[in-house]
Amino acid sequence: MIPPFQTYLLPFMEVMGSGELMDIRAIAEKVAKHMKISEEDLADTLDSGQSRHVNRCSWAKTWCKKAGLISSPKRARFAITDKGRKLLESGVTELTQKYMIDHYPSFAEFACRQPKGQHQQVEENNDQHSILTPQEQIEKAYREIMKTTMDDLLQEVKEQSPKFFEELVVKLLVKMGYGGDFEDAAEVTQFSNDGGIDGIIKEDSLGLDKIYIQAKRWNGKTVGGPDLQQFIGALVNVGATKGIYITTSSFSEAARKQVRNSGSLKIVLIDGQELARLMFNHNVGVVIDRSFEVKRPDVGFFHPED
């Protein structure tokens, strides 16, 4: 039998302690040897067909990354961090959700738990399944998967080229229903010398009404007031009335103030978190791994006169 999930956390970190840069498959192989998991147990799969062992390793990767114990210096490759080395050097003999909540605020925030020190609430939350209905358990699990997927989506987008990002946001807006099914409904502008406009969406076949797009694939840098001022200037220069500014980072209050003071211009700001949510909801950059139908008795079928 595959060991319980939380028993994977410390062996996962011990494997990462080698300092190698590895993908999840390589990590899973080393964890299996480290934990002495039999070939028969490794053949166990989830209903979706995924290896249960690899699934456990993938979630251990997510938890440890949220805690800052590992990082991803290269796409889909992971390595231990200084914080992770300190954990191993501490001589900890058991790594659990409660330990990670108590010691790593970033993980506590991810897990939607109370901050360090409030042990009683943490212990109560550790037994969530005893106080939730089956449907609530499904919904809670779905929200956790959704949040993790959105975080991973945003990280993937940040690792792409600026050109890829510009094409992505145009595809997303078209998928959301902006632009029509006519030819040239959406386009990415010339990559260089675009005058602050990265894409154009035509809302009618004649192009009488257009939405102009600015796309900034920034990692950490906040979009400020001057950036919005430049975008507003570009919109004015082309006689636009609508604009969308999309970034992988966030907007400062000064940037939002620029939008509020933009007069008759209609400008929508989409930050990294909202971008990931829109991609998730409109199936851009994601695939459906598994879907479930939750059914209940049809009262009208059994009691048609009620």
Give the per-residue SS3 of 203-232. Answer: CCCCCCCEEEEEEECCCCCCECHHHHHHHH
Residue 212 near residue 242 (C-beta atoms within 8 A): yes
In which residue are the tokens 């003999």 written? 93
Residue 17 has pLDDT above 70, yes or no: yes
Rounded CA-CA distance 194/189 in Å is 6
Q: Provide φ and ψ at 270, rounded to 5°.
A: -125, 110
Which pLDDT tens digit goes with each residue over 144-174?
A: 899 999 999 999 999 999 889 989 999 999 8
Residue 62 has pLDDT above 50, yes or no: yes
Q: Closest Cα partner for 223 from 200, 201, 241, 196?
A: 196
CA 95 to chain centre: 25
pTM: 0.72
Domain ranges of the chain: 5-95, 134-306
As a whole number, mean pLDDT of residues 222-235 equals: 94
User: What is the structure's pLDDT at 131?
Assistant: 47
Please name the residues in contact with 160: beta carbons below 8 A apart, sequence gap of 6 or more.
168, 217
Q: How confident is the model at residue 122 (pLDDT cuts 50, 70, 90)?
A: very low
Average pLDDT, the chain: 86
User: What is the structure's pLDDT at 191?
Assistant: 46
Phi-psi region of 281 (alpha: psi -120 to 50; beta: other; left: phi over 0): alpha
Please tell me the total number of residues recorded for the chain in this structure.
306
Query: Identical fold at 5-95 and 134-306?
Result: no
Domain 5-95 has CATH 1.20.1050: no
Q: What fold characterizes domain 134-306?
A: Trna Endonuclease; Chain: A, domain 1 (3.40.1350)
